[in-house]
Amino acid sequence: MRKDGMTYILALDQGTTSSRAILFDEKARVLGCAQQEFEQIFPKSGWVEHNPAQIWSTQIDCARRVLQQAGVSASEVAGIGITNQRETTVVWNRKTGEPIYNAIVWQDRRTAALCDKLRERGHAAAVADATGLVIDSYFSATKLAWVLNNVPGARAQAERGELAFGTIDTWLIWNLTKGAAHLTDASNASRTMLYNIHTHAWDDELLALFDIPRYVLPSVVDTSGFMAVSSADALGAPIPIAAAAGDQQAATFGQTCFSAGEAKNTYGTGCFMLLNTGHDAVRSHNRLLTTVGWRIAGQTHYMLEGSVFMGGAVVQWLRDGLGLIQSSAEVEALAGSVPSTDGVTLVPAFAGLGAPHWDPYARGTLVGMTRGSTKAHIARAALESIALQTVDLVQAMQRDGAKPLTELRVDGGASNNNLLMQIQADLLGVPVVRPTVTETTALGAAYLAGLAVGVYESQASLLEKWQVDARFEPTMNMDERGALLDRWHRAIERSKGWADA
């Protein structure tokens, strides 16, 4: 229970390109935010890594800075809520706390060939039945197996119980508690390809399939509830760690999509659309994922999810890879300077294609250019590619029996791009609704933690806090929409299998 005067919730939002900390009060108002980018490591083509020590140092520094900025002491914070980039895999020595290898990021494709072999051997159905996932290098299991098989001495250490595995939530909790707690929540566990979402336990058959010793795995706890207490050294006083959730599940909670049939789309590094299916784990027949949304008081809410690997990262590529813009904010004006792409289509398969295609060998493709094509056309095609990938997800969900969308709630950094949101509404043919707080990932973590420690009364009370900032109505006619989608799907086919050719 909350003590008098402890009315603050600290959300730690550890993302793919940056770490952030946001402080919320009892009315869910933002009192301060601190953010730091960290290094992206690309050792080989298709490989993506992070330095785990850098993840921890940037995250704890942000937490300390936001408390200092707000003039709030750690003793006034009722709870910590953690949300994190999912699937990214860290393995460390239990005694020293030192990682034995860099974090292998969710975007990493080094285990694509292993996944091919597992599918060829007929394991896809069993994996999907237990986990709700497709066999893909996106998830943690093959990343963990790669570390154990490729880092000298790792497997022997793991067999002796000397190593710990975790997704980023687990890594942060370990460091916050100085190694006292080796935990993950059900939402993150459901992204490892090792967790049975029906029995709510690590699956023995999957551990055998991927050759993973049980000793390395964390305990799985509820998404919202008392988990552990941070050490006094971390932030100046011990604070209850009261929630952990994968970033997309946290964003869904932050959008207050508490009921079956409600959906949101987050425009971050990737794009992630989640549809709440209630207490039913709906099996997709259109290559979407069935995943745990959250588990509270032992009750699980499930989601259908479509994952797009390259969302806002496409704009980063325009900035850093091509140098077409100096800052990401410039893309809206550049893309808006032309009325259309004039036939230019970009498929941003830089890390393969996610749902519903699941092709790790697809590669980025830019087609339809003429001598008249300009950087403005490419910029507009980049924004269209983000929206078009989302349309593919919506159509797959509807083929799985989901009711037609009446509106799409959006969040994430790129949702502040008004042109992108208008393009999205036009291509979906339904209104796109942006809330006043678009950083719903951190907000969801704060809600989950605040409910656990009594800062927020109930889920019903949180519904009242959700407010509309902007609503984008579709204006494109059906013929134009159909032609654009047809051109997009032809370009998609040209991108597939490229790295395997």
Binding residues for glycerol: 86-87, 138, 247-248
CB 439 within 8 A of CB 465: no
Residue 172 amino acid letter: L
Which of 12-28 are b and which e, b meaning 16 or more Cβ less than 10 Å from the residue's Cβ? bbbbbbebbbbbbbbeb
Q: How far is CA 179 from CA 97, 232, 449, in A?
A: 7, 13, 21
d(CA 241, CA 487) in angstroms, rounded, equals 49
> What burial class does residue 370 get, using C-beta atoms within 10 Å of its C-beta: 0-12 exposed, 13-18 middle, 19+ buried?
exposed
Q: How far is CA 298 from CA 5, 199, 295, 363, 457, in A?
A: 29, 12, 6, 41, 18
**Residue numbers belonging to the annotated binding site:** 16-18, 20, 86-87, 138, 247-248, 269, 312, 316, 413, 417
**Other residues' Cβ atoms within 10 Å of the Cβ of residue 458:** 8
How far, rounded to the nearest angstrom, does the alpha carbon of residue 324 sit from its chain's CA centroid? 27
β-pairing verdict for 163-166 and 90-93: antiparallel
d(CA 409, CA 265) in angstroms, rounded, equals 6
In this structure, what is the dihedral angle of CA atoms 74, 76, 81, 82, given to the nearest 10 degrees? Answer: -10
Residue 148 amino acid letter: L
**Residue numbers belonging to the annotated binding site for sn-glycerol 3-phosphate:** 16, 86-87, 138, 247
**Residue numbers belonging to the annotated binding site for ADP:** 16, 20, 269, 312, 413, 417
Show the 3-state SS of 175-203: HHCCCCCCEEEHHHHCCCCCEECCCCEEC
**Residue numbers belonging to the annotated binding site for ATP:** 16-18, 269, 312, 316, 413
CB 455 within 8 A of CB 78: yes
Residues near 119 by beta carbon (within 8 Å), at least 6 away in sequence: 135
CB 109 within 8 A of CB 146: no
Q: How far is CA 210 from CA 88, 131, 474, in A?
A: 17, 14, 46
d(CA 245, CA 242) in angstroms, rounded, equals 11
The token pair at 362 is 């697809």
Q: How far is CA 65 from CA 69, 134, 255, in A?
A: 6, 40, 27
